[in-house]
Copies of this chain bind each other. A is one copy, B any other.
Amino acid sequence: MSTDSDTTPDTEEAREQLIDLAADFYDQFADGEVPTMTIPTRTKSNIVFDEDEQVWVYGDRNSTRSAKTISGAEKILKAVYTIDFLSQQLEEDRSSTLRELYYLSESWDLDEAQFNTQDESNNLIEDLEIVSDVKREDFHMRPEESGAKVMGPLLLREQTNRGDREIHCQDDVGQGGYQIPNNPDTIEFLDNDAKFVLCVETGGMRDRLVENGFDDEYDALVVHLGGQPARATRRLIKRLHDELDLPVTVFTDGDPWSYRIFGSVSYGSIKSAHLSEYLATPEAQFIGIRPEDIVEYELPTDPLSDSDVNALESELEDPRFQTDFWEEQIELQLDINKKAEQQALASRGLDFVTETYLPERLDEMGIL
């Protein structure tokens, strides 16, 4: 699972990092100390927005798990068993899901090492990511949810467990596009004619762009997000930006939940603040649907619900949305009290989005 990206350690490195963790416990025992593990406190109050990097990161508060208490000792025991499992998994070049790890712990010989809930095993894996500075994918822990799909002028090579595959994301795929694998770091970018990345929230709009040949005409890599994007999708977008130097644009519905989808592509999420560097693309730009589009194009709308209004108001408090652009758009939306879907552009004809809306907007944004 070696990759191009120099931030990604290879399997052997990941294994060594894990074993170093276990070795720390061993050394602590050998020195007559009670073993401890120190990790950043992972509550909302210890997550700060890094203005320079424009992503969420952990603050400087730490918590220490010590084997002095039974619950602390059990946590460390579980960590050691998990490290043993992961290290074996890496040695055999295999992989598993978070859910499998939870169930698998039932087969461990010591009852106290078994997980009681899936939250417990999920959290432990996140802890190990943070303390070892190795990502879950490099432990070969697959997410349950696979990534979405890509259509556009990109030739790639994917390392699969049955050999390498060279795939062109227009010429070698069906109408459904190229399916992003769980771990997109198995992908190597070979060649491309792309000018930018266009991330699309809904399947219906993705299909419209593909049917209208937008990817072909404008040399766009159309990446389907499918709602809140999976980790694999966000990682691929990040790599397309960093390694191929492509501008990233995001096209969603015009409501507060969709602005959060944009936020998770561009700023990372609170839950995975330790991975912002790996998953977030702060340079991503928002295409729309913008509240100003609702007004300008007289789109069919729905009224805002109470929860929409609350979400918009909390976005106004969110450091990620504290820019002139977002404040203006969100206040306009609260004022007109309306939201619109991407596909509402069809009220001006099926080709309006590809012939007028996107070319005009992308030109304004300096992408075309």
Contact = CB atoms under 8 A, between A and B. Distances in A.
Contact of A346 (B96, B178, B204, B208): B96
Contact of A300 (B106, B161, B344): B106
Nearest to A298: B106
A283 to B, nearest CB: 27
A230 B100 CA distance: 26
A122 interface: no
A349 to B, nearest CB: 6
A94 B211 contact: yes
Interface of A: 94-97, 99-100, 103-104, 106-107, 142, 144-147, 149, 158, 160-162, 165, 167, 170-182, 186-187, 202-204, 207-208, 210-211, 213, 216, 300, 341, 343-350
Nearest to A158: B174
Given A103-B346, A350-B96, A147 B176 contact: yes
A162 B100 contact: no
A207 B182 contact: yes
A160 B174 contact: yes
Given A97-B207, A208-B100, A107 B172 contact: no
Given A100-B343, A176-B181, 9 more contacts: A96-B208, A103-B346, A106-B300, A142-B207, A165-B171, A167-B174, A174-B178, A174-B179, A176-B182
